[in-house]
Amino acid sequence: MQNWDAPIANAIKFTDTGGITVRIFEKSPNSKHQDWVTIEVEDTGYGIAPEDQATIFERFRQGRNKRSGSGLGLHLSHRIVEAHTGTIKVTSQIGKGSLFTVKLPKNIDQIIINS
């Protein structure tokens, strides 16, 4: 699970007060009836500016916070999730925190065979 967990690691790193919530649940999208697992990581940290949210998953994209790392964690998480035909998205407000949502197919073998 190397770097797949960057949203959780970042939530811990950038949340000084408040808390972090991790939710995991199953969901079937509208018409395809494909089973999905959704993982949400929500924090009450600093938040991410709207202009930074568009590029947050780019390689070497470092945040503006002094605690920011190499800029690879979220990029690698994005690549790993995409390799499993899933999605990762962020919504955030400065001063209120962030919500990262990862959606992964529950049965990856079925998707690969049916593609």
Residue-wise pLDDT tens digits, 63-108: 565 545 555 668 888 888 888 889 999 999 998 999 999 898 887 5
Q: Residue 115: pLDDT band by 50, 70, 90 thresholds?
A: very low
% residues pLDDT > 90 (the chain): 16
Please state the rounded mean pLDDT for residues 37-53: 87
Task: Tell me whether residue 1 is in a domain.
Answer: no
Q: What is the mean pLDDT of the chain?
A: 76
Please count the CA atoms within 13 angstroms of the CA of 30 that sit on its side-chain side. Answer: 0
- Whether residue 91 lies inside any domain: the answer is yes
User: What is the reported pLDDT for 92?
Assistant: 92
Integer Cα distance of 114 and 17 in angstroms:
46
Q: How far is CA 51 from the centre of its chain?
A: 17
Q: The sheet that has 20-27: what strands, in order across it? A: 20-27, 36-43, 97-105, 87-93
Number of domains the chain is built from:
1
CATH code (residue 17): 3.30.565.10
